[in-house]
Structure 1
């Protein structure tokens, strides 16, 4: 009976008013539908005419594509209801419905505009526009959309007369409890945000961390996946990842190479004086190399030590190994040409047969055996 009494006012509305409201609803729906279609076509032509010059046109065209037909239909019905003379309670309810309908459609527009704008921004600033979405793109979009829909929900509750102050306070207390319960997950989440902002590495970079060497495949909200050089996939928590030293080899501009060559200590001084210049000529013959220095570093009774330092201007490890191989082969050819070989330590053993040693066998018979006094010498 109470439900029937609430709708008793409908019987008081005349048929002409109902027909007028229905006509206004249909006309409003057709006009809004036509206006939306015309706007989408117009903005789409602007976007196609110059994407680089009119980025706003691309955003608007994609945003209008999220127009909800449910929202358009409800809006047309609400426009039709304005023709009717509604009592106070229903007039207030219609105003609430206006706010929810238009607010939801506006939130959908802003949601899609944020997605398109973020995608366009990160695509413009990325080295490879066709690369998958980065963790920064994902986190920024997720954070903005979360704030948007939270504000919309609070606005709807406030419009309906609910005290959102107590609701926000309860959310704060509940948020603290949830944060304590999932602090490890939140730690990884904020670590992924740090990776997105600081960018110590990106997808595709070759890194070494905590003894794992490989290429970064994906940086997620909680973990980072690395394809190891040995083939397996290694999954590391983002928080643990930032606690260790990360070596990023993709950002290496060049490689510094330092090695030593040991020559025979009997090498003549005149030949030793020529060796730095000859070694420099060997290094400078290699492509993509910048020579730094070659010096006689140390002189001992065992060897003459020459140190050579140069830079490989290409960060590729294969290029580095090819260059080092050619330099070492050239150094061996130089040794052969000058007749000064590399040092090979020789162990010399001297045996002194001065004393005798008594050796007792299993049959308890003793026999004389020569004793050996061994002395070692290094040459």
Structure 2
């Protein structure tokens, strides 16, 4: 420094500092920047070696945080260190200080974003996406909200340190936000409905649901709409707000299916066979795999039939399995009734006509089922 002071042209004054002081500040800046980069690289290398020897993911996260240190942060930090050897006016010092604070806040925002992603990825890996189809969807939505809140806070802090009246800004944004909310209330309604779907999980991707008279498999759940692939192949797009207004049936979460089977036999069926029918049907139902028999009864007297009601459970929610079992039981009942000579009833009218001589004529009129 004394040697530099002996050189005349270095004594020229610029912004209250000599060329010699500016030269020293430049050297301090370069040394600080190089030293910080070297320190970053050394710490990353050391921690990477330690992280490879442990099973925890915390040290891996620490390495990623160090690797995520931005170049602008090191430059501005080095600039702030270099200005310490200068005699700058208060206004210039305040600018350097503000830049340093902004750099720290922006770097903190990147670190905060990385921390949110780390927590979300850990939650997803702990839950297991294979066992919870809504985990990815939920974590992404929560992560988006968390990052948005973080950056809003960081921007407000930056504005506050830059001399902006944040209180007045927040108040004006609140008034403007009300106006915007009224203008886009339908979009906001769908957005909040999306958050409700994410948090409450009435259904997740892959579930087979029915909404009103429409049914299909959930393919996508977004911030605005939910998309369902119908059985006939087309894609049905529901507004999130609309889909929550109606009743939703989620067949993916069905553990077993209750089946009620009803049929009628003719009034001419002998009493002993009527009494034996529940036992016949029970054997037919229990002969099927994945079924649990509940009851079979003569339920009542119809206009043209003795009505039976059978209740059993299919222990598999798959619809094709249910239909296969239902078909096997129906065929079994038809086979047993044919062997026992029991007739199924169909709508019949019997007319009794008394003649002039007192004789009674009987006429029967049969109608096909469903006519």
TM-score category by the smaller chain? 0.7 to 0.9
Q: 1:68-147 maps to which residues of 2 (within 5 A)?
A: 68-128=70-130, 134-147=136-149
SS at match of 1:208: strand
Of the structure 1 ranges 295-304 and 163-172, higher mean CA displacement relative to structure 2 is found in 295-304
Give how far 1:47 is off: 5.0
Structure 1: 5+ residue runs without aligned partners? 1-7, 352-374
Is contact 1:60-1:113 (8 Å) kept?
A: no
* 1:335 aligns to 2:343 (yes or no): no
Query: What is the TM-score normalised by the length of structure 2?
Result: 0.85
SS at match of 1:341: coil
Change (3 A) 1:111 1:257: same
Give how far 1:322 is off: 0.4
Q: 1:212-231 maps to which residues of 2 (within 5 A)?
A: 212-231=214-233
* 1:247 aligns to 2:284 (yes or no): no
Question: In 2, distance between residues paired with 1:298 and 1:239?
Answer: 45
Question: In 2, distance between residues paired with 1:41 and 1:132?
Answer: 37
Which of these residues, 9, 14, 17, is aligned with residue 13 of structure 1?
17
Is contact 1:46-1:54 (8 Å) kept?
A: no
**What is the CA deviation profile of residues 236-291 of structure 1, one whole-angstrom value per residue up to 9, with x for unaligned ones?**
11111111111111011110001113223222222222211111011001111111
Question: In 2, distance between residues paired with 1:129 and 1:21?
Answer: 60
Question: In 2, distance between residues paired with 1:9 and 1:130?
Answer: 70
Is contact 2:304-2:348 (8 Å) kept?
A: no
Is contact 2:304-2:346 (8 Å) kept?
A: no
Question: In 1, distance between residues paired with 2:302 and 2:131?
Answer: 59
Q: 1:176-325 maps to which residues of 2 (within 5 A)?
A: 176-300=178-302, 302-325=304-327
In the other structure, the counterpart of 1:37 is 41
Of the structure 1 ranges 195-204 and 14-23, higher mean CA displacement relative to structure 2 is found in 14-23
Question: In 2, distance between residues paired with 1:129 and 1:330?
Answer: 38
Question: In 2, distance between residues paired with 1:267 and 1:46?
Answer: 85
**What is the CA deviation profile of residues 15-41 of structure 1, one whole-angstrom value per residue up to 9, with x for unaligned ones?**
443333233222222232233233334
Is contact 2:127-2:135 (8 Å) kept?
A: no
Is contact 1:256-1:309 (8 Å) kept?
A: yes
Of the structure 1 ranges 24-33 and 241-250, higher mean CA displacement relative to structure 2 is found in 24-33
Question: In 1, distance between residues paired with 2:214 and 2:95?
Answer: 62
Query: What is the TM-score normalised by the length of structure 1?
Result: 0.84
Structure 2: 5+ residue runs without aligned partners? 1-11, 354-361, 367-371
In the other structure, the counterpart of 1:28 is 32
